[in-house]
Amino acid sequence: MKFLEYTPLNRFNIFLSNLNLGESIIRGSLEAYSCKNTVSDQKLSFSLEHQILDYIGQSSDSESPSSLGDLFRRSCRKTLIYLVLTLSHMYPDYDFSAVRAHLFFKEEEWDSFRQTFETYLFEAAEEWAIENDGSSLLDDMTKALDEVMKLDECEIYSYNPDFDGNPFLEKGAMWSFNFFFYNKKLKRVASFRCCCSSNVGSESGNAGELTDGSNEDDVIFDDMDM
């Protein structure tokens, strides 16, 4: 995988790098990666493939094929590996398991992405409109993504890990989401992730309590419908 620098995406990364909304701060990024494997990626891909095949072999005796999802299909395993490789490049200090990651990926429709976007980024959209002469954040981002990724050719996936498996969650986190746009023809993946942290929690010194997950029910929307 290789990070791809695209000018159309830069303005959104600048806008979402540290968006202070008063009581909360949103941090997000919109990045594109080539699926062309480096030498290290090839080794990791080989390892991830064997993880999946071992899991299928160990599970097939006790589980029906339908309970293992699409892992029986080589094309789906390849997609999963590309998504895990993208995660590994986004979070190089975090060790992702393909089998575990498979549990947290879900294929989405554009409408579900839009609903999540409009639900959680409505305040960000208002700030964007103020700074950009009334322009729509979603429309502008859609246009940029389409330019880079050709959205009508993309498969869309959400990644919703549990508390321990989410390297993007910050202290005082209120919510987070991760979406991936995968274009098989272009052999390209774009990731869009956002996390909202409470300024109030940070100032009161309570944010650190979240590191062990003790108060996650109060502040993490683990079950949000995406």
pLDDT tens column, 3-25: 888 888 999 999 999 999 988 89
Residue 166 domain flag: yes
Cα R_g (the chain), whole angstroms: 18
Cβ atoms 116, 226 nearer than 8 A:
yes
Two structure tokens written together for 94: 């975090």
Residue 171 domain flag: yes
Q: Does residue 220 carry a pLDDT above 60?
A: no
Domain that holds residue 180: 2-34+101-219
The whole-model pTM stands at 0.79
**Residue 30: what pLDDT?**
95
Q: Does residue 199 carry a pLDDT above 90?
A: no
Angle subtended by helix axes 122-131 and 137-149, to nearest 10: 90
Residue 63 domain flag: no
State the CATH number of the domain containing residue 122.
3.40.1000.50
**Residue 68: what pLDDT?**
42
Angle subtended by helix axes 110-120 and 122-131, to nearest 10: 80
**Residue 65: what pLDDT?**
46
Q: Residue 213 — pLDDT band, cuts 50, 70, 90?
A: very low
Q: What amino acid is encoded at 10 in this protein?
A: N
Cβ atoms 8, 147 nearer than 8 A:
yes
**Residue 168: what pLDDT?**
63
Residue 105 domain flag: yes
Residue 66 domain flag: no
Residue 14 domain flag: yes
The structural domain count of the chain equals 1
